Structure 1
Amino acid sequence: MPFASPHPPLDIAKCNLLEYLFPNGETPTDTPIWIDAKDTSHHLTPRTLLQWTKRLAMGLDRVGSKPGEVVMIYTPNHIFVPVAYLGIVGSKRIFSGANPAYTVSEMAHQISNTQAQYILAHPSLAKSAMAAAQKAGLQHGRVFLFSDVPNASIEGCRDWRDFLPSPADADAYTFPDMSDEDATSTTATVNYSSGTTGLPKGVQVSHHNLVANLDQTIYMRYLKKPWDHTNRPREVWLGFLPLYHAYGQLYTIAMAQKLQIPVYIMKQFQYEEFLRAIQDYRVTHLQVAPPIMVMLSKRPETAKYDLSSVTDILCGAAPLSKELQREISKKLECEIVQGWGMTEVTCGAIHVPGGHIDDSGSVGQLDPNCECMLLDDDGNEVADGQPGELYVRGPQICLGYWRNPHATKETLSPDGWLRSGDVAVCKDDWFWIVDRKKELIKVNALQVAPAELEAVLLEFDPIADAAAVGITLDGQEWPRAYVALKDEHKGRVTEDHIHAHMKEKVAKHKQLVGGIVFVEEVPKLQSGKIMRKVLKEWAKKDAERMGGAKAKL
């Protein structure tokens, strides 16, 4: 039998996301919500954001953009990204964000794959945007400059403000109503998932997917607190997560509006600026990925700043070891909870309820209206407490992969089950993620989870970051680690020191027989996930060079 959420089902609206965030009959407030972390006088309120959003929707009508077409953004974070997101989505167009670190080729792939008709590009990226648009065959004049201040033309690109109507004209605009069917079937966003093979794939998320996941997440966020979202104490957030990514969009754009929580938006993540913003703005809640937790643990700058305002941290996007979770919770005297999600579930599907003290490393319980199965390699449900691949079903499950029916068929069943590729264990309605199914290392038929090895490696104080992967030597697969040392330990800590640490911590079949390599940096996506494909390529090249030689333990 599938696992059902232990929480009562929610009555989830089926409507335009804009109607959910700005209900008819309610007057938007003049409280600053989206605030520039460098210049706090530069901000948007719900009232001004809604006006800009309507102006963008009307402006897109004027330049010939049609409902159902993709409009891309290509920009670092800034306070007007929420305007683009909500203006595009609310007018029944499709929002797609591109990573500002993308090369011209990567950007051209996303333009071609989405069939985007218009691009809003930051001035610093205008040259790349134009080159990518040309490479993808986009009609000339479809790239506009997009930042938080007016811009003079660059490379023949006009500023996005040039095509906007006046504020007075925009006041008369109303976002289109949606029937239940429209809300469920209309694509709102196409965010790109790294997937497990090939080029990134666009994930189609509907208006109802977004509304459902907001309701689910808000419910879980305050479930065990002595208050709910209507009578909670002061909250202040820091918006450093990239806004081209689902995690940042759900919290910094949509949930900040729904809950009316001010969020200081960082244009670029720099660790000391991150710490300084927490201190200066008395930030209370952080939404993070594990690399931030590693920095809080390992970086000496952490001790220079007053982080006492932080009461709650949500960690997602990749596994977090219970040891690191406990360490940071103790150091900052704050509550840390984990969650599980992926772009294909809009953002999240499993959360530790807010207010529940958990230091076991669990990612929590199924969100309301959600169910799952844990299946073995033969498609059979596993016994209680045994690992199995996680399949999820619920109102937040994506519509499929954009213009990729083959990938959709491989991942989504006709009756709505999403194959996650993650291996989980369930005990008494609580879930633990073991690892990605295709990342497991098999040592003499025994499975070894890279995430477990990485957690153990990070317990060794001289190590700043680490990643584990399988390496095949003489036909046998063995665990191999790529390790970044703290600066003060470089040249002093050797492979032998790390092997000695591992011998104390893990069973024989989990030892790093495949060797240890010191690197300057572990390759990661901006979301915080380790780039497993890169590690596998490194290991393959290393295996050819090593000629079958194993580490001496």
Structure 2
Amino acid sequence: MLAMTQVEEGSVEGLPNRLHEVMDHYVGATPDRMALVDDKMWLTYRELDQVVGRVTEALRALGIRPGDRMMIVSENSVPLSCLLFAASRLDAWAIVVNPRLSPREIDQIKDHSGTRRVFLTAEVSQEAAAHATRYEATVQDVGPLRGIAVTSLNIATVAEPVEADGARQVAVLIYTSGTTGTPKGVMLTHRNLLFSARGTAAFRKMTADDVQYCVLPISHIVGISLLTMTLMVGATVRLVAKYDPAALVKAMADEGITILNGVPATYQRLLEYRRTAGLPKLDRGKLRVISVAGAPLDIELKSRVEQELGLPLLNGYGITECSPGISGVRPDNPRADHAVGTIMPGLEAKLVSQDGKPVADGEVGELHVRGPNVMRGYYRAPDLTAKAIDPDGWFNTGDLARFENGAMYIVGRTKEMIIRSGFNVYPAEIEAVLSTHDAVVQCAVVGRPVEGNEEVVAFVQLIKGSTATVQDLMAHVAPQLTSYKRPSEIILMDALPATSTGKLLKHKLAESLRSQS
């Protein structure tokens, strides 16, 4: 397939040069409009500007220099947002980390990044407070922010050079394990984040009247993008530390939220809550856009959500290295299938075969993208960067996709593709069929090498109390899959290994098969 270009729609013209500048226009134009709200505090645009200014001075007094990396261990909150924008004002690199990560994972990020100091919102979550204790961090005020735990100064670390151009200056460093299990620091520039956020805001026709429900973690790229795009249009961000379906139901009914973004599990738990709480119907209030990304979307779940809320559930696709937006289903052109929509304006996409040649429309190929959203590279890993981004600027997503009439479908990951008896088998297809069984909560399909071939192995988590057997599942998939796609073995598990955001760790399942052989 030839590169699909929509450069005329997506442009870098008029973007701010730095992340914190998104609020500047509204500080003057609508100073009393609500900017940030969490469970404990709220700030208008005027107040946000003032608080970020005072936090910036406090960080400078704590020895944070331009080019330093500073770690923020926090759930979504107003203090986290203020620390993030203050880092931008200082030209420091913000590393926002989920406090639900293990000590080992947080230590890995701290050591690899060479962070100058770690800031932990000890009063926001018990997990952050536990890490603060472990680091012997001092709880103090950082400007007007109270109860922030601050570690001692890393005197040995060296500041990175500061780039005047926002297209080169790193705004955030996001550590992602990908499929390897080894964290990689993704360097996203100010322009990366601002370009992607503006594209999504335009896509959704966002205005200053919107209230964005931000429950996806700001420690991951989607959360940062939601925060940025909302302030970019002068709207309100409702920051949520931990997902609670009951709180979401209340926010829909009482708080005027208009946009909800989630992963499939967000919506699955919402429907389960309605049922267990005995609610006759969910009150969607002013909700006008609901979207989903981050994991394959089950068509049956999509249908049930749409029926319940009376809105199309808009599927999308992105990746941390692309800040994140690559494609999305437009609100004015919803779809009934599991397509992830059309390529975002200003980006180019192409599909290539295993030997690097273009593939025809409708055929599966590896997705490569190019545009102002593509990361600067992996921190302190030029070899990994060179493998991911070619000399012409094309980033290899490692995902397999196909296009039909301009719409993109994600089929799986290149490394996960199974070659069985000469046929290409895509785990996502088998997982989709397995997921239609009533007893299946979630599943993951991986390949198992056997002499001269590969076998298909499915790991399945069943609903608690289910009496379904492996034989039942085999009988369920057999009529829906051709012989070479059917699992050689189905393994039942109490829980599948996953990251803190619920992303399944397939490499661990594959390793468990290798250790058995």
Shared topology, TM-score over 0.5? Answer: yes
Measure how far apart 1:297 and its partner are: 5.2
> Contact (CA 8 Å) 1:78, 1:147: kept in 2 or not?
no
Q: State whether structure 2 residue 509 is matched by structure 1 residue 526.
A: no
Mapped to 1, the partners of 2:410 and 2:35 lie a distance apart of 34
Mapped to 2, the partners of 1:116 and 1:415 lie a distance apart of 32
SS at match of 2:78: coil
Of 100, 123, 131, the match for 1:128:
131
Q: State whether structure 2 residue 425 is matched by structure 1 residue 448.
A: yes
Of 482, 485, 493, the match for 1:510:
485
Mapped to 1, the partners of 2:119 and 2:143 lie a distance apart of 9
> Contact (CA 8 Å) 1:7, 1:367: kept in 2 or not?
no
- One-letter amino acid of the counterpart of residue 444, structure 1: S
Mapped to 1, the partners of 2:438 and 2:252 lie a distance apart of 25
SS at match of 2:276: helix
Give TM-score, length-normalised by structure 1.
0.83
CA RMSD, Structure 1 to Structure 2 (Å): 2.8
Q: State whether structure 2 residue 302 is matched by structure 1 residue 306.
A: no
> Contact (CA 8 Å) 1:372, 1:390: kept in 2 or not?
yes
Aligned to 1:185: 168
> Contact (CA 8 Å) 1:35, 1:265: kept in 2 or not?
yes
SS at match of 2:362: coil
Of 391, 395, 405, the match for 2:382:
405
Aligned to 2:362: 385
Percent of aligned pairs with the same residue? Answer: 26
Measure how far apart 1:218 and its partner are: 1.6
> Contact (CA 8 Å) 1:317, 1:527: kept in 2 or not?
no
Of 401, 425, 433, the match for 2:410:
433
- The 1:193–1:383 alpha-carbon spacing in structure 2 relative to 1, beyond 3 Å, is same
Mapped to 1, the partners of 2:355 and 2:284 lie a distance apart of 50
Of 349, 353, 368, the match for 1:372:
349
* Deviations 1:398-435 (CA, angstroms, capped at 9, x unpaired): 10011111111110112211110011101222211111
Aligned to 2:157: none
Aligned to 2:111: 112
Aligned to 2:264: 290
Mapped to 2, the partners of 1:523 and 1:434 lie a distance apart of 21
Mapped to 2, the partners of 1:245 and 1:65 lie a distance apart of 23
Measure how far apart 1:198 and its partner are: 4.8
* Deviations 1:272-306 (CA, angstroms, capped at 9, x unpaired): 44444434435332111122233345564376362
Measure how far apart 1:33 and its partner are: 3.2
Instruction: Return 5+ residue gaps in structure 2 as ranges.
Output: 153-161
SS at match of 1:80: helix
- One-letter amino acid of the counterpart of residue 267, structure 1: A
Mapped to 2, the partners of 1:392 and 1:44 lie a distance apart of 38
Measure how far apart 1:219 and its partner are: 2.1
SS at match of 1:247: helix
SS at match of 1:478: strand
- One-letter amino acid of the counterpart of residue 264, structure 2: P
Mapped to 2, the partners of 1:384 and 1:346 lie a distance apart of 26
Aligned to 1:2: 3
Mapped to 2, the partners of 1:303 and 1:525 lie a distance apart of 31
Measure how far apart 1:386 and its partner are: 0.8
Aligned to 1:77: 76
- One-letter amino acid of the counterpart of residue 212, structure 1: F
Aligned to 2:49: 50
Measure how far apart 1:265 and its partner are: 2.3
Aligned length, in residue pairs = 499
Q: State whether structure 2 residue 96 is matched by structure 1 residue 97.
A: yes
Of 193, 202, 225, the match for 1:210:
193
- One-letter amino acid of the counterpart of residue 301, structure 2: L
Measure how far apart 1:72 and its partner are: 0.6
Aligned to 1:166: none
Aligned to 2:239: 265
> Contact (CA 8 Å) 1:311, 1:333: kept in 2 or not?
no
Mapped to 1, the partners of 2:339 and 2:435 lie a distance apart of 18
SS at match of 2:498: coil
Mapped to 2, the partners of 1:257 and 1:62 lie a distance apart of 27
Measure how far apart 1:157 and its partner are: 6.0
- One-letter amino acid of the counterpart of residue 284, structure 1: T
Aligned to 1:169: none
> Contact (CA 8 Å) 2:267, 2:305: kept in 1 or not?
yes
Mapped to 2, the partners of 1:147 and 1:280 lie a distance apart of 32
* Deviations 1:175-223 (CA, angstroms, capped at 9, x unpaired): xxx99x611111111011222325111111111111211221122223x
* Deviations 1:143-180 (CA, angstroms, capped at 9, x unpaired): 867899733x97x969xxxxxxxxxxxxxxxxxxx99x
Aligned to 1:226: none
Mapped to 2, the partners of 1:66 and 1:314 lie a distance apart of 38
> Contact (CA 8 Å) 1:470, 1:514: kept in 2 or not?
no
Measure how far apart 1:132 and its partner are: 5.6
> Contact (CA 8 Å) 1:275, 1:302: kept in 2 or not?
no
* Deviations 1:225-277 (CA, angstroms, capped at 9, x unpaired): xxxx34x8x533322111111101110x2122123333332222234444444
Measure how far apart 1:325 and its partner are: 2.0
SS at match of 2:203: helix
